[in-house]
Amino acid sequence: MLSNINLAGFVTTMIAIFTIPRIIHYVFVSVIQFYCFMIFAWTVLSWFDHSTGFLHDLYDILDKFVSPYVSIFKRFIPLVGAIDFSPWVAVIVLQLLSRLL
């Protein structure tokens, strides 16, 4: 009876050791993917008139979350004509980070 309890405790501990890091990894990767989607939505909304209405509210919310991160890359990446590639570089960096995790 005592050996069964120790074995059950060992199995439970092993499951916890190997499952919790996977859950944490899944959460981090999911957050990174969601943030990449936010960058994409922010970039697409910047192409349209978002001065009033729902698009204005949505763009403001996305801008508060996305702009501080993307502005890091805007310092180093110049505009090519009228095209800003810094959001895409920011997404690539996030994707590389998620692959390294």
Tens of pLDDT along 19-69?
A: 777 888 888 999 999 999 999 999 999 888 888 888 899 999 999 999 999
The whole-model pTM stands at 0.78
CA distances from 89 to 14, 39, 54, 67 (A): 39, 11, 28, 13
Residue 48 lies in a domain: yes
Does residue 5 lie in a domain region?
Answer: no
Residue 38, domain member (yes or no) = yes
Q: Is residue 10 part of a domain?
A: no
Query: Cβ distance 19 to 92 under 8 Å?
Result: no
Classify residue 22: in a domain, yes or no: no
pLDDT in tens, 13-23: 666 667 777 88
CA distance 63 to 69: 10
Q: What is the pLDDT of residue 49?
A: 87
Among residues 79, 99, 80, the alpha carbon closest in space to that of 36 is found at 99
Establish if 82 belongs to a structural domain.
Answer: yes
Instruction: Quote the tokens at residue 71.
Output: 């502005």
Q: What domain count does the chain have?
A: 1
63 occurs within a structural domain = yes
Is the residue at 57 inside a domain?
yes
- Domain of residue 62 covers 27-100
Q: What pLDDT is recorded for position 32?
A: 94
